[in-house]
Amino acid sequence: MKQTEVLLQPNPNARIEEFVYEKLDRKAPSRVNNPELLGQYMIDAGTEFGPGTAYGNALIKCGETQKRIGTADRELIQTSALNFLTPLRNFIEGDYKTIAKERKLLQNKRLDLDAAKTRLKKAKAAETRNSQLNSARLEGDNIMVNFSYMLNFLHVKWLKIWAEEVTKSEQELRITQSEFDRQAEITRLLLEGISSTHAHHLRCLNDFVEAQMTYYAQCYQYMLDLQKQLGSFPSNYLCNNNQTAVTPAPSVLPNAIGSSSMAPTSGLVITSPSNLNDLKECSGSRKARVLYDYDAANSTELSLLADEVITVFSVVGMDSDWLMGERGNQKGKVPITYLELLN
């Protein structure tokens, strides 16, 4: 049970804090977990770099995914605590303590019973010796015979005392035997419930495994979705600040990432826009497909949804990284890196 708590909450200080709040019967304050904290830092950094840049937008997407993983982690902890840890803790702190207490009491009753049997055995042995001495005949009337008779008389008196103990010991044995039998029955009934307890804990274990399966499946799906989103970013950006030349990455199809193939993890290999620069140099409009979602930063920009088709055209004097986009009655600036021209 404690190792499960360590798995769900590796921070020992947090476990101690939760324990103190539990003993005080107070609700522990909500705490941001590590994935959620990482996600927030990524989103803040992406916002500083700029949501319109490929790197900034990628950071924001990664941050949102990390926060989703943090939420899934929180749900795993809550579900496991409710369905797995709580039944175990209730048994250990409740039924198990009762069983241990009754079992220890049974052991004490057994010791009392053994002591009563020993006393009865000694009392019966003394009674047998008393009978043997009373049946012996004393012969002669010399001094030694009389002295021996006196010793035997005292011995017989002592043996009679033991004989009187027989009845008392038998009565005590009956009492202790009855108490032992009653305590044994109580302990037996408690131990018979262990099998049903094991069956209940087995169901709790299955719930714990299912909670873990759900958690890892969610994390896998979140990362798969993130990988697909990152796979649609253009990679014609500098690898680091020390480079001065732009080396475009090979162009791949947007749907190249499937369930059976994984994108390279060493860098972003993404679809680069085709003939967008040609559009900047000529007049007229073209249809373009949106590669991934984009949220407008202000009223002059146009929000985009992945896979939608919009009309784009160039405007004299506009920044080279932007085009004018049009969707129905909506019009605004759109980043070139989010688009792929259609033939």
pLDDT of residue 84: 93
Residues 132 and 199 in one domain: yes
Residue 302 in any domain: the answer is yes
Residues 225 and 309 in one domain: no
Residue 100 in any domain: the answer is yes
Question: Residue 331: enclosing H or E segment and its boundaries?
Answer: strand 330-335
Of 215, 232, 249, the domain-final residue: 232
Residues 173 and 51 in one domain: yes
pLDDT of residue 163: 64
Residue 183 in any domain: the answer is yes
- Going by the DSSP 8-state scheme, the letter that residue 213 receives in this structure is H
- Going by the DSSP 8-state scheme, the letter that residue 271 receives in this structure is P
**Per-residue buried b or exposed e for 220-254, using 16+ beta carbons within 10 Å of the residue's own CB:** eebeeebebbbbbbbbebeeeeeeeeeeebeebeb
Range of the domain at 322: 286-342
pLDDT of residue 13: 83
Residues 198 and 329 in one domain: no
- Residue 273 · residue 321 · CB < 8 Å: no
pLDDT of residue 146: 52
- Report which of 100, 99, 98, 113 is spatially closest to residue 179, judged by C-alpha positions: 113
Within 13 A of 324's CA, how many CA atoms are on the CB side? 11
Residues 73 and 185 in one domain: yes
Structural domains counted in the chain? 2
Residue 128 in any domain: the answer is yes
Residue 257 in any domain: the answer is no
pLDDT of residue 21: 77
Residues 65 and 127 in one domain: yes
pLDDT of residue 195: 87
**Per-residue buried b or exposed e for 96-116, using 16+ beta carbons within 10 Å of the residue's own CB:** eeebeebeeebeebeebbeeb
How many residues in the chain?
Answer: 343
Residue 5 in any domain: the answer is no
SS3 (DSSP) at 313: strand
pLDDT of residue 208: 94
Residues 186 and 316 in one domain: no
Residues 214 and 308 in one domain: no
Residues 55 and 122 in one domain: yes
pLDDT of residue 223: 93
- Residue 281 · residue 247 · CB < 8 Å: no
Of 211, 232, 253, the domain-final residue: 232
SS3 (DSSP) at 301: strand
* 188: Cβ contacts below 8 Å, ≥ 6 apart: none
Of 187, 202, 232, the domain-final residue: 232
Residues 186 and 299 in one domain: no
Q: What are phi and psi of 275, to 5 degrees?
A: 60, 20
- Residue 85 · residue 5 · CB < 8 Å: yes
Which residues on adjacent β-strands are paired with residue 322?
Answer: 335
Q: Please list the alpha-helical segments (H only) found in the chain.
A: 2-8, 12-23, 34-49, 54-80, 86-90, 96-135, 143-192, 194-230, 276-281
Q: How far apart are CA 330 and CA 296, in angstroms?
A: 12
> If the chain, 343 residues long, is cut into consecutive pieces of 10 residues, what is the mean pLDDT of each piece?
88 81 77 91 94 91 95 92 91 91 94 90 74 53 52 59 75 92 93 89 94 94 90 49 38 36 36 49 77 88 91 83 89 90 82
Residues 87 and 165 in one domain: yes
- Residue 130 · residue 160 · CB < 8 Å: yes
Residues 225 and 291 in one domain: no
Q: What is the CATH number of the domain that holds 126?
A: 1.20.1270.60
Residue 7 in any domain: the answer is no
Residue 99 in any domain: the answer is yes
